[in-house]
Structure 1
Amino acid sequence: MDIWTQQSVEYVSAAGEAWLASASEFPRGMRALWEARPWAPSVLPCGRAFDVISMPSLFGRRVLDELWASGPGCGPVAGYRGRTLLFVQPGAAPRLRRLLAWEEWARDVPPLLCHGRGDAVTVPPLQRMVHGPDSPGQGSGRWIVAPDEREPWLPGASVVLWACVRAAREPGVGVPAEPVVVTGG
């Protein structure tokens, strides 16, 4: 049986839904929208309940492995358009941006998008039902670690920084070198 004939369902728990809604200026309105369209992605502001660090998918997978291997684990994580979206403590995005600005860190870690207060991110649907290629919600991302608590543990900037540095320093990982240009003759 192929993936299109199998039915799979991914859910955000009721407590996780309440947490996500708390990011909105109008939580009741968000919950009403999700009740009517649980398969639709949503746009939520950063800075109130969470910030988001967006990274290339492969690097994001290595960062998640580091977070789990070093003990703290992670909070909610989503995949969206080839990126891993790591939900972090409010205020962590600008702090991580400053920490990564240090030349020592910037050369090892691929470019990260740090979304904090004033930014918004697209989050995957609360519920994803896969019936076929034309199902609603396809291509709208997915939860890698779905929100399941009213107050999930979210990593801070320093935890994410060290996970990124360790992930970047794995053999065969890192930022591609600048191309060498040979001139003259």
Structure 2
Amino acid sequence: MEETIAGPAAAHVPKQQGDSIAEAAVRYVEERHWDVFPGTWLDVADGTQHCSCGEPACPAPGAHPAHDDWAARATGSATVVRGLWSEQPTASILLPAGRTFDVIDVPETAGFLALARMKRMEVAFGPVILTPDRRMQFFVLPGAAAKVPDLLQSLGWAASSLDLVTLGEGTYVAAPPTRYGARGPVQWACRPTPENRWLPDAEELVPTLAYACGRDR
């Protein structure tokens, strides 16, 4: 069962109930046309969960790439995805940024403040992930990583003064129902729906996100 924070109704990716990790990965490919790739997974030994990478102090147990060439392994083929997860059904679902989306990553408190303001102002936004590390990740059109520093400067903010990070090419995010070991699952704060299929440009969200991060300092 995929865990979800309150968000728009009638989600299609993934279903509220019943989807395995593999089924969720296929839905991201088929419904959103997102590339995906399998990451590490959680093994259990002596009643304790461990990352399959074997690193005792793994910072993201069960939720990071298993191979250095992960970008080349990412695929948009549902057939390939089914084959990959048949090899390791509990592998995490990772999505490469910089292809069909970039991500703006902010603290959870700033993210919820920004969402509330966007709804009041009727600003359209895309899917939003809530991580177990209490970060929120807003999906926007590709190219945001190059735009955001100048956007912040035009708004009077120094990028170094805000806890706002943009993820583009060469980075990735973990998608629900991936789990970060004992820290818990990745969840949707706002799930992918037919209504938010078209992602916003960074310019549409950065003013509100910057304001919320400024309030959160």
Q: How does 1:88-127 map to 2 (within 5 A)?
A: 88-101=140-153, 104-106=156-158, 110-125=162-177
- Contact kept, 8 Å, 1:47 with 1:116, in 2: the verdict is yes
The structure with more radius of gyration? 1
Question: 2-side partners of 1:45 and 1:65: how far apart?
Answer: 28
Which region of structure 1 is more displaced relative to structure 2, 84-93 or 17-26?
Answer: 17-26
Provide structure 2 residue ranges, at least 5 long, that are not aligned to the other structure.
5-12, 16-25, 37-73
Three-state SS of the structure 2 residue aligned to 1:27 is coil
Aligned: 1:27 with 2:76 = yes
Question: Which of 99, 105, 114 is residue 54 of structure 1 equivalent to?
Answer: 105
- Greater RCO, 1 or 2 (C-alpha within 8 Å, sep 6+): 1
User: Taking structure 2 as the reference length, what is the TM-score of the superposition?
Assistant: 0.58
1:147: how far off? 1.5
- Cα distance change on mapping 1:165 and 1:151 into 2, 3 Å: closer
Q: Which amino acid aligns with 2:94?
A: V
Match of 1:64 in 2: 115
Three-state SS of the structure 1 residue aligned to 2:157 is helix
1:167: how far off? 2.8
The Cα offsets for residues 132-173 of structure 1, whole Å up to 9 and x where unpaired, read as xxxx9971311111213397122212111221244356xxx2
1:34: how far off? 6.0
Three-state SS of the structure 2 residue aligned to 1:114 is strand
1:115: how far off? 0.4
Provide structure 1 residue ranges, at least 5 long, that are not aligned to the other structure.
1-6, 129-135, 176-185
- Contact kept, 8 Å, 1:19 with 1:49, in 2: the verdict is no
Aligned: 1:12 with 2:14 = yes
Question: Which of 182, 190, 196 is residue 145 of structure 1 equivalent to?
Answer: 190
Question: 1-side partners of 2:195 and 2:84: how far apart?
Answer: 19
* Percent identical residues: 28
Question: 1-side partners of 2:2 and 2:177: how far apart?
Answer: 14
- Cα distance change on mapping 1:27 and 1:162 into 2, 3 Å: same
Q: Quote the RMSD (CA, aligned, Å).
A: 3.5
Q: Which amino acid aligns with 2:121?
A: S
- Cα distance change on mapping 1:32 and 1:142 into 2, 3 Å: farther
- Contact kept, 8 Å, 2:127 with 2:196, in 1: the verdict is no
1:58: how far off? 0.3
Question: 1-side partners of 2:111 and 2:196: how far apart?
Answer: 23
- Cα distance change on mapping 1:114 and 1:26 into 2, 3 Å: same
Question: Which of 154, 157, 162 is residue 199 of structure 2 equivalent to?
Answer: 154
1:31: how far off? 4.9
